[in-house]
């Protein structure tokens, strides 16, 4: 790995933290060169750095949360799968001649329990992102996902879905191959599956691309993830004919985990380390694994029929509103 690759990728609002960290390092080096003990001063500065980090990350705007959700070093589906599973085997192909690298899945064991895990997979760099369509799945990807879910249902294995996509692949070829039909088929069939289904938004959950693997008994989101019907950039381009107004759109889309928990769309917010999941991936992994185990324990207390009914009722409640008459 080169020095450039090791250099942290800073978001705009993280620059004060980087400047303070740089100042602390300079003081430490000068003190060592001159044999001066400044350990107490450095401790104070490090404490201030932690306070500043907490202040920044507890008051992020929706557009800033979106930047964290899209951070190139944020843990991906494969990162989480490989970290939480005792063993893991990726399965390929939709049995119709396609194997979409933007949607991965396979069988594994979670604390000894056989499970099927699948999700969107973005790349780490430009080359990898192009190979994986930036996590935007083709119709073949959703058909592969459904094949794996049917396998899980046949053998009584719970399904764990990890959502991280700006949307389904928006190309003419994808439309010709039946993108809408593939997603709609998944929506219908996921309501009928007998096994427990847990869906987690680990980064960016966008539009029908997210919904294609997003019907579950539990819907969880990491604290700085987003889940929305349309990207803020596309929303701004449609409403104001100006994509630069994306921060405005992000504020009104109600796409953050706290907004969606308040609206009753998601069931649980998974706390992230201060600085985001990419700042301490191991802590994020442990949080996710424990949440999955806790929810599976609850879901296994229900019969398949009870799970299906509650799943149906959960999604029927989304979008319910009250009309107030002005008499």
Predicted local confidence at residue 58, as pLDDT: 82
Nearest of 322, 307, 223, 205 to residue 271 by alpha carbon? 223
User: pLDDT confidence of 55, banded at 50, 70, 90?
Assistant: confident
Q: Are residues 184 and 129 in the same domain?
A: yes
Inside any domain, residue 7: no
Same domain, 158 and 305: yes
- Residue 125's DSSP bridge partners are none
Q: Are 154 and 266 within one domain?
A: yes
Confidence band for 32, pLDDT divided at 50, 70 and 90? confident
State mean pLDDT over 127-132: 90
Are 285 and 157 in a shared domain?
yes
The whole-number pLDDT of residue 1 equals 39
Residues facing 200 on adjacent strands: 162, 220
> How would residue 2 be classed by pLDDT, with cut points 50, 70 and 90?
very low
Q: Is 4 a residue whose pLDDT tops 70?
A: no
Q: Same domain, yes or no, for 51 and 119?
A: no
Pairing of strands 197-206, 218-222: parallel
State the average pLDDT for the chain: 89
pLDDT for the residue numbered 188: 96
What is the value of pTM for the model shown?
0.87
Q: Are residues 49 and 160 in the same domain?
A: no
Cβ–Cβ < 8 Å for 124, 89: no
Select the more confidently predicted residue: 48 or 308: 308
179 belongs to a structural domain: yes
In a domain, residue 324? The reply is no
Q: Is the pLDDT confidence value at 257 over 90?
A: yes
CA 98, CA 267: separation in Å to the nearest integer? 34
State whether 169 and 195 are in the same domain: yes
SS3 270: strand
What is the percent of the chain where pLDDT is above 90? 63
Whether residue 306 is contained in a domain is answered as yes
Q: Tell me how far apart the alpha carbons of residues 174 and 168 are, in angstroms, rounded to a whole number.
A: 9
The mean per-residue pLDDT over the stretch 198-208 comes to: 93
Stronger pLDDT, 42 or 327, i.e. the higher one = 42
Are 41 and 135 in the same domain? Answer: no
pLDDT (0 to 100) of residue 7: 52
19 & 48 share domain: yes
- Report residue 27 as tokens: 């003081």
Q: How confident is the model at residue 3 (pLDDT cuts 50, 70, 90)?
A: very low
**Assigned domain for 327 exists:** no
**Confidence band for 327, pLDDT divided at 50, 70 and 90:** low
SS3 content of the chain, % helix, strand, coil (to 5): 50, 15, 35
Number of domains in the chain: 2
pLDDT of residue 6: 45
Domain interval for residue 278 = 65-316
Say yes or no: 41 and 183 in one domain: no
| Window from 138-147, 160-169, 248-257, 312-321 with minimum mean pLDDT | 312-321
């Amino acid at each position: 790995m080169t020095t450039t690759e090791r250099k942290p990728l800073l978001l705009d609002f993280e620059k004060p933290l980087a400047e303070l960290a740089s100042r602390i390092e300079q003081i430490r080096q000068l003190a060592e060169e001159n044999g001066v003990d400044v350990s107490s001063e450095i401790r104070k500065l490090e404490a201030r750095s932690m306070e500043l980090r907490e202040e920044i990350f507890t008051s992020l705007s929706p557009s800033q949360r979106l930047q964290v959700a899209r951070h190139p070093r944020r843990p991906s589906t494969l990162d989480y799968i490989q970290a939480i599973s005792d063993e893991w085997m990726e399965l390929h192909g939709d049995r119709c001649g396609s194997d979409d690298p933007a949607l991965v899945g396979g069988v594994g064991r979670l604390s000894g329990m056989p499970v099927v895990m699948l999700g969107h997979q973005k790349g780490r760099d430009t080359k990898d992102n192009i190979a994986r369509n930036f996590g935007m799945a083709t119709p073949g990807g959703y058909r592969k996902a459904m094949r794996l879910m049917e396998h899980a249902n046949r053998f009584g294995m719970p399904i764990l879905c990890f959502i991280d996509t700006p949307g389904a692949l928006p190309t003419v070829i994808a439309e010709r191959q039946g993108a809408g039909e593939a997603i709609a088929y998944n929506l219908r069939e996921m309501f009928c599956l007998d096994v427990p289904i847990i869906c987690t938004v680990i980064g960016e959950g966008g539009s029908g691309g997210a919904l294609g693997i997003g019907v579950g008994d539990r819907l969880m989101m990491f604290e700085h993830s987003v889940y929305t019907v349309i990207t803020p950039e596309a929303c701004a381009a449609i409403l104001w004919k100006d994509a630069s107004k994306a921060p405005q759109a992000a504020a009104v889309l109600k796409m953050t985990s706290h907004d969606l928990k308040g609206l009753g769309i998601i069931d649980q917010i998974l706390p992230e380390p201060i600085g985001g999941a990419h700042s301490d991936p191991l802590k994020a992994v442990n949080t996710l694994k424990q949440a999955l185990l806790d929810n599976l324990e609850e879901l296994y207390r229900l019969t398949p029929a009870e799970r299906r009914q509650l799943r149906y009722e959960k999604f029927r409640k989304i979008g319910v509103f009250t009309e107030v008459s002005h008499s």
